[in-house]
Each structure stands twice: as C-alpha cells, then as structure tokens.
A = this chain, B = another copy of it.
C-alpha cells in the first residue's frame, strides 16, 4: 500500500483571474510557509515521501523544488500532463478587466454554468483536460502501487478536482464540482492506493496553520 498526496500550490502573486497555462509566481515566503507546514504535518503523522512529481508551471515547480531540497530528495520530475487547464483567450486576464466588457463576462458566466458545452474561446476542452489528467493519474497510481512509493504531487486546483472525479467516479461534467467544491491553496488531499483500488482519505485538508486568503481558480 502507498499514499499519493496532492498538494495545491500557494496563492499566486497576481490579480484574481483564471490562471491556467499563464505562468505566475508565488511569493517565496508563501512557499516557505507551505514547506514548513508540510514538514510538520509529515512529522506528526510519521509520513515519508519517497518520490515527487510536479506541474512544470512555476507556481508548482518552485514549491516542489523547495520541498525536495529541504527533504534531500531527488529533483522533482515535471509532468506536462498535470498542468492546469488552458483557459485560452481569458487565461490570466484579470476578472476585473473581463467584468468591464459584458460580452466577455457573459461568455465566462455561461462557462461556469456548463463548462462542457460552453467552452471558452481558444481554450482547452474540459473533456480533453479530463482525458490528459486521468491518463497521467493512472500512470502515477501504477507506479506508486508497483514500487509501493509514497508520492507527493504538487499541482493545481483543477487537476485535483479532476483526479477526485476520476477516483470517485463523479461526472466531471457536473458544473458544481468546479464552483461549489473548494480546493484551497496549500491544501493537501490524501489518496490511498491499494492493490486493487484507490480511496480518497481526506479532501482538501489545508495544512495546519496555513490559512488561505481569497480563493482563486488556479
């Protein structure tokens, strides 16, 4: 048996926006706080991490590198397939700016209500995003299972939601799965990998002492 820990990156330095493939940094102090809280969590729960992977986007990679160097682990492998969804034309555009242009804001509102049918301009389709994340997830599970390795995955809110939908067989086209389920910055979701199945132990447990400020979809 092994566990896979899904750690969401810290709050990014930037205005509230859909951050998908846009590369935005996280303050060093925020990464250090998450790293400390994660270390304390591992110590208290007697958890060892054998293997680390990360999204290549800087908001994840910078945290993953910090955790790896603190724990004297090998450099985390960056996996393109666990990048956040690409939000196309609206990726990284502040909500405030979009809100001032009703024709764009309406498109965004329709997307929230039905993210499968009402895709954003030039954005990745939700079905394609689901496929790439599920495929990457299956490979991570197989590796964790075969090597019995506890794996830390530093990634994104959308990626964690998609993995949860996959593990729990929840319909990923359900809009409430995106708007009503909060995956906080710096939160940790634990998934137990057994011989024949996977089980969600905790969803979105923010690391102790790390309180999330306002939520962003990234």
Contacts and interface: CB of A to CB of B under 8 A. Distances in A.
Nearest to A169: B176
A208 interface: yes
Q: How many copies does the complex hold?
A: 2
B168 A176 contact: yes
Interface stretch (A5-13, A15-23, A74-82, A196-204): A196-204
Interface string A187-214: 1000010000111111111101101000
A13 to B, nearest CB: 23
Nearest to A188: B205
A202 B184 contact: yes
Nearest to A180: B199
A179 B171 CA distance: 17
A167 B180 contact: yes
A198 B182 CA distance: 11
Nearest to A212: B201
A117 interface: no
Interface in A40-93: 44-45
Interface of A: 44-45, 167-171, 174, 176-177, 179-182, 184, 187, 192, 197-206, 208-209, 211
Given A169-B180, A179-B199, A204-B205, 4 more contacts: A45-B211, A170-B170, A184-B201, A203-B203
